[in-house]
Structure 1
Amino acid sequence: MTADVTVPARSVAEPPAYRWRWAALAVILAAEVMDLLDAMVTNIASPTIQAELGGTAATIQWLGAAYTLSMAVGLITGGRLGDIFGRRRMFLIGAAGFTVGSLLCAVAQSPELLVGARVVQGLFGAVMLPQGLGMIKEMFPPKEMGAAFGMFGPVMGLSSVGGPILAGWLIDADFFGTGWRMIFLINLPLGLAAVIAGLRFLPESRSPHPLRLDVPGVILASIAGLLLVFPLVQGREDGWPVWSFVMMGASVVVFAGFGWFESRKSRTGGDPLVVPSLFRKRAFTGGLLTGLVFFSAMSGFMLVFNLYTQIGLGYSTLKAGLVMIPWSLGMVAGFGLAQTVARFGRKVLQGGVLVMTLGTLGVLLTITMAGATVTAWQFVPALAVTGIGMGLLMAPFFDIVLAGVEQHETGSASGTLTAVQQLGGAFGVALLGTVFFDLVAGGPNPDLAGAMRVVLWVVAGMLLLTFVTAFLLPRKAREEALEGH
């Protein structure tokens, strides 16, 4: 990102950059780490949790989907709450509530209570996370914006390295007899530290023209998301009854109704939950489509691959976490590589998608050739390539998508973008998890390797669709911003 970005005339006399902006960024990134860890840990822990608490295959899917779906339906509102009541205040409330939700997860005594506690985590995470992007847009001058957003890449990479390993190690170590519960208890000191540091370093930040809450919009978006994900997860358990297909069809209708309602609210002078002007920005609309498909593929793949290594290959939770190290290290390397070729803009993102597709096909080839005797070491090359591609894709993603967002659109844009990311994750877990469990159900000796191969073909197809949707993005991160001004 260059320092000589053209800005509107009204921003010539911008105030000086916030003094503690880098410390504040560290607090924001700490919150991202908590979210990333909790979004991933149940992928590793779900077989152990199911063995202790009981439940069905759908329980495994709901452990991830309940968190991401509740976060998705709350994120747009979370951004609006920051605009109205202050981003610092809502960040602190979200961090505190997320910590309490983690405690509830740790003490849950049934699958239903644990899934409910995951919903609590997701809702408060939805209050916490969107405040970060809004504060970064205010704290950092244009010349430092790229570096600030660029920090998300290494943090995501390191979290993806440490998360599965940490989860597997904590479960295997069984500290104080806590077993899988420690993966949630560890959030307590992290959450407390985020609250204390947030009180010290986060700036007061809110929209100069705060908008009212759009409660009907929240209800419509929530219903639409639930109507889509619930039948995908639960329909398989009940033999795909008619109601499951009716619900999925109804979700399309409700999503369309949501769009119509938001547009009408804007035309009549109201305060829509999602600002319609965002969808006139090519970077933003293209980013939503690209993010939805991509995060669906990745979230679903991670769940199914961890199930395959533990249930199909007999790996322990720690070994299942360790086998993902090449992916995570590749992701860190991909982020670093992306910085050196950042001038190519959208091509970097699309190149990352193609590299990921090759890596995914490499995993498929490894499983096909090695069969049931496949070792963790044999996965290393393909997973490393997949990780490099993911790093190349993720590094420029947020900067490209948010390039043309105006200050008054920040809350809605950051909330909507992150909500679509989470909705994609919930959809991917539901869809690919259902494909996997459908293929292995009904026999004493299920072909787990065959089911994994089918899932990998689906993931490869979704990645190629991501490549196509990325053509909707502008070629350069700041292209649209310059054109708009």
Structure 2
Amino acid sequence: MTTSTEPGAVTTRRSSRLMWAILALVLLADALDVIDGTITNIAAPTIAGDLGGGEILIKWVGPAYMLAMGVLLVVGGRLGDKFGQRRMFLIGLGGFTLASAIAGFSFDPTVLIVARVVQGAFGALLIPQGMAIMTKAFDQQMLGKAFSLFAPVLGLSSIGGPVLAGFIISADWFGLSWRPIFLINLILGVIGLVVGAKILPRDDSADRSATVDGRASGLLAVTMLGLLYGLIEGSTNGWGVIPIASIVVGVLFFAAFAHRQRTAAEPLITPSLMKNRGFTSGLLVCLVAVAAGSGLLFVLSLFLQEGLHVSPRYTSLGLVPLTAGLFLAGFATMMRGLIPKYGRRLVFIGLGIDIVGCGLVLALVEAFGTDVSLWVLAPAFLVIGVGIGLSFATIPTVALGDAKPEEAGSASGSFSSIQQLASAIGSAAVTSVFFQAAASGMAHAMEVTLIVVLGLTVLSLPVVALMPRKAPAGPPAE
């Protein structure tokens, strides 16, 4: 008996395999971004102990990456439109891989911080291209499957990053201590480059006329750098002339950025969005809540290692309940249709649960001090994770509820950038509060930090009431 296969069926199978391969590559790139954004939460104390740099290195090693990512994320998307998503994806992945190698081989704190900035910059070039490539290359059925995989993969990456860091540092492979957390990107990056060069579709629809407002991005970069440097330098070495001047420069450049937004032909944020109360209130809630939550996640890791003297491995395991709660809550909001059903009420619920979790940790630290165990903290960490997961996943979507269809793409990109910048600000600011209070003991430092985080979260609640009641009916336009 002989069998025959229709040529069309062979083409379909090949096309299906190609789409799955492209999806795997895009997910790899996004996973690398999430892992490298969270991996230093665990590794920072070990890195500072090895390279020196003390508090200032701990404060910069995470925010440096997120700062560059947040400032350049929208620009990365525009460059993909102008020069082609395939080209920018490969350049972004190549630069990210090279910067990871420099970070892994760094023997000086300054070199490491610069490498982290470069990592974030190339990450901002890499990440926006994946969604555009899939939108062009996939049919509707495959696109639906792809979107359904993003939440679990990125959620697992957020858990896997800190856990991986803890185990790598404790394993001390070849006596390299923390360095393999960056050097592992060399293997994954080279594989991604080889595969991407073979399978990514050619850039036949690049729009050379697309404009990129580099001036606005430069103004925003100086704004954030001035504010962060002033904050970190002032909290570390005292509030002298340099940190105050740095903050003043940041404020002045922000004013210049705002003016540029009003006068530029192609502003980074669509001007009409800034007149939309629902969008601007959502942006403010995102800035405050994400800053407080991201800073808290970093400080909890510091408290476990510096206060409870837990090893990096057991610190990563001790934080699994928190990251698991974050993942499960975020996944549930996307897969169970909770956001369209509850809208901004889900933001209230998430922030409320976060407040309860922080209150539980505060009560435990006040009761037991640095003698509190990981097992005792685990339920409270889980509650915090659920609260952050519900709110972080919901705020950007609900804020688009009143946006017009033609504004949705700009609004979505703006929120991605704000989330990264808020994470950078929060990590630096909340860590500064922690170290400032540490002179009176680690337990006191944790208590003060929790009170600050609770205060910021409570202050954001009235602003939630100004957000749109419902999320938009469909996904935002790209």
Into which bin does the TM-score normalised by the smaller protein fall?
Answer: 0.7 to 0.9
How many angstroms apart in 2 are the aligned matches of 1:330 and 1:396?
15
How many angstroms apart in 1 are the aligned matches of 2:461 and 2:143?
26
TM-fit CA distance, 1:372: 2.1
Where does residue 39 of structure 1 map in the other structure?
37
How many angstroms apart in 1 are the aligned matches of 2:180 and 2:108?
16
TM-fit CA distance, 1:454: 0.8
Where does residue 320 of structure 2 map in the other structure?
325
TM-fit CA distance, 1:264: 1.1
How many angstroms apart in 1 are the aligned matches of 2:431 and 2:114?
20
Gaps of 5+ in 2: 1-14
Counterparts in 2 of 1:277-316, with a 5 A limit?
A: 277-281=272-276, 284-316=279-311
* Cα pair 1:153 1:394 within 8 Å, conserved: no
**SS of alignment partner, residue 319 of structure 1:** helix
How many angstroms apart in 1 are the aligned matches of 2:276 and 2:324?
34
How many angstroms apart in 2 are the aligned matches of 1:221 and 1:308?
32
TM-fit CA distance, 1:31: 1.8
How many angstroms apart in 2 are the aligned matches of 1:371 and 1:309?
12
**Please, which of 445, 449, 469 is the counterpart of residue 475 of structure 1?**
469
Where does residue 251 of structure 1 map in the other structure?
250
Where does residue 459 of structure 2 map in the other structure?
465
* Cα pair 1:80 1:273 within 8 Å, conserved: no
How many angstroms apart in 2 are the aligned matches of 1:465 and 1:145?
39
Shifted more, 361-370 versus 201-210: the winner is 201-210
Report which structure shows greater RCO (CA 8 Å, sep ≥6). 1
Counterparts in 2 of 1:391-430, with a 5 A limit?
A: 391-401=389-399, 404=403, 406=405, 410=409, 412-430=410-428
Shift of the 147–109 alpha-carbon distance from structure 1 to 2, 3 Å rule, reads same
TM-fit CA distance, 1:349: 2.8
TM-fit CA distance, 1:103: 0.5
Shift of the 408–293 alpha-carbon distance from structure 1 to 2, 3 Å rule, reads closer
Where does residue 440 of structure 1 map in the other structure?
438
Matched, 1:387 2:385: yes
Structure 1 runs, 4 residues or longer, greater than 6 Å off: 139-147
TM-fit CA distance, 1:277: 3.5
TM-fit CA distance, 1:298: 1.9
How many angstroms apart in 2 are the aligned matches of 1:344 and 1:400?
10
Gaps of 5+ in 1: 1-17
**SS of alignment partner, residue 62 of structure 2:** helix
Shift of the 88–415 alpha-carbon distance from structure 1 to 2, 3 Å rule, reads farther
Q: Give the TM-score, by structure 1 length.
A: 0.85
* Cα pair 2:396 2:412 within 8 Å, conserved: no
How many angstroms apart in 2 are the aligned matches of 1:101 and 1:173?
24
Counterparts in 2 of 1:261-276, with a 5 A limit?
A: 261-265=260-264, 270-276=265-271
TM-fit CA distance, 1:432: 0.8
TM-fit CA distance, 1:163: 1.4
Counterparts in 2 of 1:334-373, with a 5 A limit?
A: 334-338=329-333, 339-340=335-336, 341-342=338-339, 343-373=341-371
* Cα pair 1:102 1:117 within 8 Å, conserved: yes
Shift of the 417–238 alpha-carbon distance from structure 1 to 2, 3 Å rule, reads same
Q: Percent identity?
A: 39
Shifted more, 218-227 versus 202-211: the winner is 202-211
Aligned residues: 457
Question: Over aligned residue pairs, what C-alpha RMSD do you find?
Answer: 2.9
TM-fit CA distance, 1:142: 8.3
Where does residue 154 of structure 1 map in the other structure?
152
Counterparts in 2 of 1:162-173, with a 5 A limit?
A: 162-173=160-171
**Please, which of 438, 445, 468 is the counterpart of residue 451 of structure 1?**
445
Shifted more, 66-75 versus 392-401: the winner is 392-401
Where does residue 87 of structure 2 map in the other structure?
89
Where does residue 9 of structure 1 map in the other structure?
none
How many angstroms apart in 1 are the aligned matches of 2:280 and 2:134?
21
How many angstroms apart in 1 are the aligned matches of 2:278 and 2:146?
19
How many angstroms apart in 2 are the aligned matches of 1:203 and 1:290?
39
* Cα pair 2:68 2:117 within 8 Å, conserved: yes
Shift of the 127–140 alpha-carbon distance from structure 1 to 2, 3 Å rule, reads same
How many angstroms apart in 2 are the aligned matches of 1:154 and 1:249?
42
* Cα pair 1:77 1:415 within 8 Å, conserved: no
